[in-house]
Structure 1
Amino acid sequence: MDSLISSPYWSFLVLLLSILLVAQLISRWRFHPFIALVIAAVFVGLISPDLVRDRGLIAAIELPMTELGSMAGKIAWVIALAAVIGTAMMESGAASQIVSQLLKRLGEKQAGLALMLAGFILSIPVFLDTVFFLLIPLGITLAAKTGKDYVLYVTAIGGGAAITHSIVPPTPGPLIMAETLGLDLGLVISTGLLLGILPAFVVLFVGKKLNRALRIPLRIAPAPIVAGGKELSLGLSLLPILLPILLIGAASLVEALTGSVPEWLGFLGNKNLAMAAGTAVALYLWAITRDLQSTVLWEKIGKPLEIGGLIILITSAGGAYGAMIGHTGIGEAIRLSSENLQLHYIPLAWLIAAVLKTAQGSGTVAMISSAAIVSALIGDGSELPYHPVYLLMAMGFGSLFVSWMNDSAFWVVARMSGLTEKEALKTWTFLLAIISLAGMLQVWLLSWIVPLI
């Protein structure tokens, strides 16, 4: 037993036991994810002999708290602002205007494409559950009007939102993966948007196939959709999303082309300032469309900040758990065990995230934890034959596989759409599994064709 504990392979057992603990706490005993992840982080510290020997038993408690605070410091501001942008866009009517303009310009025959694009766009600053809540009434209304294509509308909304939720910051999972791997945020955003195009078409293809194969009735009556007090143009509606992306992307592009960034551009392209600019625009649009005074406006942002605060707690706890896994030496253990197997890191990164997602249900937790493991595995990434951003994308797509009963998004889609559990498994679960596999294969192929180094 002593030889096993002292061997580098002990970290595999630590990882396995901690995953089982997280899955048991969240799925079986219904612990809140924040509490479950902090407990798991402390548990990892307690059964890590090198940590206890070098720093003492108290380090098993203190180090996870330090890591939690460190992660919160990196992502708290951005996530809080993303929550405010999302609420402001819905309350101002900007979100519904994006959808209505897409439907108007593409036509009713292309309603599936319009809803998929709306989910794809809105899920960049807005959380997946919220996007589905926002868009599914449109899908229900269209299905009631036409008497067909309901399965297509459900899968288009959910699939489009799931893609950007998993691979495009500032949603929490991709944001923390970028921080963990030390990647430029502009590069991650642009790569995620580009690599999301093919899976988006896969969503429509699979959605149409499922729509023809399944006969699922519309069980929910359509409800009226509330628009903003004053109608916004499409350009203004998109501005809270596009402004941060353009500012961050401009700094990243200049650096990629010239090798350096002017200080003023680096300042404007900093993720914290860029998100603040997008938030300012979103709040301004909210105020002018609803005729809100500043005091009322600031009172109203309390709710999205509360929602953002909960997300910050969960993601920071996930970061602490992932960091503690990294402290076990899991990277070296994987390297030693795979040095003669010629394993490719991209399918390995995908597999780690997929296993974590299937075991405990949360895609965000899967991304955070797998990023810590992969970061420990690759070190600074200098020896990789491709850019580490491909590993981030592989883990993002892995976090979509498999969404079933232990995933909160599964129940949101099922309940809001009026699907039975069996129908949700045939549609939502199947769709995300296909997106996940297609995304991973795309990433694997592109890492060979366009290594970006």
Structure 2
Amino acid sequence: MDALVLTLIALGSIALLLLLIIRFQVPAFVALILVSVGTALATGMPFAEIIPTIVEGLGGTLGSVALLVGLGAMLGAIIEHSGGADALSRRFARILGPARVGAALLIASSVIATPIFFDVAFIILVPIIYAFSRAARLPSPMSIGLPIAGLMLFIHVVVPPHPGIVGSSAILEADMGLVTLLGCALVVPVGFVAHHTARLLNRRVYTVLPETLARYSEGPAADPGDGTGPQGPDDSGPSGQGGTEPSGTRPADQGGGSVKAPARTEPQAPPGTGSVLTIILVPIAMIGLQTVGSAFLAEGSAALGLLTMLGAPPFALLTGCLLAVYLLGVRRGWSMRSVGRVMEGALAPAAIVVFVTGAGGAFAKVLSESGIGDALSGGLLGLGIPLLLLAFVLAALLRAAQGSATVSAITTAGLLASTVSEGGYSSVEIALINLAIGCGAICLSHVNDSGFWIVSRYLGLQVADALRTWTVLVTVLGTTGFGLVCLVWALA
């Protein structure tokens, strides 16, 4: 089929996808499957091959995504319900002192956001942000909360086990270890940018929404250095709602509405900061050790084989989960039944993300097998647009159009899959292409993104003010991350 016709079909399929999700509120999973079938028919794919192609694309993506997202959700649920986020935030604040509370919470939030989805992680931290803001006698939680939300969303789009970066990496067959290490490396400089950009944006005084102001003012000011967190009944165990999205919402990438902080309970004694850090950092260290070891150990050696197993992201996350079960649960008085309820409760909302990601993989497979990916990316590359820039721009445009960072990342990966697989790129370059997609997927968050509403409502921003602050901040962070990716690409 002619390249121009294939390109028009691609544009039409994306437009139809956006129409179904935005205008008709069709669930993203159903919309992606319907558009996949329609695209396959429009390109003349044989009837007998359409469903097998969709199944192959969905199954191939789920093979990588389901393990990581499921284990990541359970790990995050245990940290959430145990009070680990509270303990970590207060410990950092106590170490850095009252004058650096904002920076302390920013550092803590970057650690907390690694295993926990953005919307849940931010809502967990809202009471802490409010308490420290009140203690500092700030008129609103905006000064402390804005950079925290921005950095947490950046981590959500560039660091596994979050679904968008995992899904795009699976489609482009990227080395997940390299993606993880490079994504974590980006977080540090982007964190500095988030802090200073938010300070500039906060020089203006914004009118706080009345309902947010009432909620912000009603609680007592907490002592930033008291080291305490919410207390819960020791004998009842966790409520079993760990890792779930707030009541009445969908995950931040999936669109949503009103928000409500999730309830949680914990054993009487707050967890130790060292335990929480160990649980989060050990899986990252295992992945990093495998990636580094592969550069120095002989291929086929027993040592490399052992490191390959230990450093595989699913095994590393499983290790983190087992550490969390013991250090934050059993050792602190939880029964295995209580811990099990928390872990099982985390899988229901994670399943939504997994299925949407899998459907995105099915759509990507149709785009690839039908020749659309080659036609579109080849045509754009023929205009002289570098592949890295193309990845960033496509993801940003799709993100602005339909609001989901996950869907935009996976769709972009599908459009570029053929070009990447046939381009002879190194493993580092493929990892950088995935990070460029992630950086594009954070940009231009606005009213069609439920994360926009979560942040604006909890920080008390009117829509116009949220566009001036939140949308600007995440776009700056995405562009900064892309600039750093380009720098590494030039040096690689």
Instruction: State whether structure 2 residue 368 is matched by structure 1 residue 326.
Output: yes
Aligned counterparts, 1:428-447, within 5 A: 428-447=470-489
Aligned counterparts, 1:133-144, within 5 A: 133-144=123-134
8 Å contact kept, 1:155–1:207: yes
SS in structure 1 at match of 2:91: helix
1:386 Cα deviation (Å)? 6.9
Give distance in 2, aligned partners of 1:419 and 1:158. 13
Post-superposition Cα deviations, 1:117-146, rounded to whole Å, max 9, x if no partner, equal 222222211000011101122222222222
Give distance in 1, aligned partners of 2:423 and 2:84. 41
- Out of 106, 124, 131, the residue aligned to residue 121 of structure 2 is 131
SS in structure 2 at match of 1:406: coil
SS in structure 1 at match of 2:429: coil
- Out of 48, 53, 76, the residue aligned to residue 66 of structure 2 is 76
Give distance in 2, aligned partners of 1:244 and 1:9. 46
Change (3 A) 1:249 1:389: same
Instruction: State whether structure 2 residue 434 is matched by structure 1 residue 392.
Output: yes
SS in structure 2 at match of 1:124: coil
- Out of 317, 330, 344, the residue aligned to residue 386 of structure 2 is 344
1:255 Cα deviation (Å)? 0.5
- Out of 408, 423, 443, the residue aligned to residue 450 of structure 2 is 408
Give distance in 1, aligned partners of 2:207 and 2:485. 34
Report how many aligned residue pairs link the two structures. Answer: 440
Aligned counterparts, 1:54-69, within 5 A: 56-69=46-59
Instruction: State whether structure 2 residue 398 is matched by structure 1 residue 359.
Output: no
- Which residue in 2 is equivalent to 1:242? 281
8 Å contact kept, 2:36–2:366: yes
Change (3 A) 1:400 1:259: farther
SS in structure 1 at match of 2:203: helix
Give distance in 1, aligned partners of 2:3 and 2:9. 11
SS in structure 2 at match of 1:213: coil
- Under a length normalisation based on structure 1, what TM-score does the superposition of the two structures give? 0.91
Post-superposition Cα deviations, 1:228-253, rounded to whole Å, max 9, x if no partner, equal 42232222111221121111111111
- Which residue in 1 is equivalent to 2:31? 36
- Which residue in 1 is equivalent to 2:243? none
Change (3 A) 1:90 1:340: closer
Give distance in 2, aligned partners of 1:257 and 1:10. 48
Alignment RMSD (CA, Å): 2.1
Aligned counterparts, 1:30-429, within 5 A: 30-49=25-44, 51=45, 56-148=46-138, 150-217=141-208, 219=213, 220-221=215-216, 223=219, 226-227=230-231, 228=266, 229-258=268-297, 260=299, 262-288=304-330, 291-334=333-376, 336-338=378-380, 340-382=382-424, 387-429=429-471
Post-superposition Cα deviations, 1:316-366, rounded to whole Å, max 9, x if no partner, equal 111111222222323422454245533211111100101111111100111
Question: Any stretches of 5+ residues in structure 2 without a counterpart?
Answer: 221-228, 232-265
8 Å contact kept, 1:118–1:157: no
Give distance in 2, aligned partners of 1:206 and 1:282. 35
1:35 Cα deviation (Å)? 1.4
8 Å contact kept, 1:334–1:377: no
Change (3 A) 1:258 1:223: farther
1:384 Cα deviation (Å)? 6.9
Give distance in 2, aligned partners of 1:339 and 1:361. 26
- Which residue in 1 is equivalent to 2:255? none
Question: Any stretches of 5+ residues in structure 1 without a counterpart?
Answer: 1-5
Post-superposition Cα deviations, 1:370-415, rounded to whole Å, max 9, x if no partner, equal 1122222222442579722221111110001210111111111122
Give distance in 1, aligned partners of 2:378 and 2:123. 46
- Under a length normalisation based on structure 2, what TM-score does the superposition of the two structures give? 0.85
1:108 Cα deviation (Å)? 2.1
* Amino acid in structure 1 at the alignment position of 2:107: L
Deviates more, 1:87-96 or 1:222-231: 222-231
1:60 Cα deviation (Å)? 2.8
* Amino acid in structure 2 at the alignment position of 1:249: G
1:223 Cα deviation (Å)? 4.6
* Amino acid in structure 2 at the alignment position of 1:190: L
8 Å contact kept, 1:135–1:157: no
8 Å contact kept, 2:206–2:465: no
SS in structure 2 at match of 1:419: coil
1:75 Cα deviation (Å)? 1.5
Runs of 4+ in 1 over 4 A off after TM superposition: 222-225, 383-386
1:290 Cα deviation (Å)? 5.5
Post-superposition Cα deviations, 1:261-305, rounded to whole Å, max 9, x if no partner, equal 622222211222111111111122342365222223223322101
8 Å contact kept, 1:241–1:278: yes
* Amino acid in structure 1 at the alignment position of 2:283: P
Deviates more, 1:210-219 or 1:358-367: 210-219
Give distance in 1, aligned partners of 2:96 and 2:5. 56
- Which residue in 2 is equivalent to 1:3? none
SS in structure 1 at match of 2:366: helix
Specify which structure has the bigger relative contact order, considering alpha-carbon pairs within 8 angstroms and separated by 6 or more residues.
2
Give distance in 2, aligned partners of 1:199 and 1:441. 11
8 Å contact kept, 2:72–2:115: yes
Give identity over the alignment, percent: 28
1:105 Cα deviation (Å)? 1.1
Change (3 A) 1:100 1:344: same
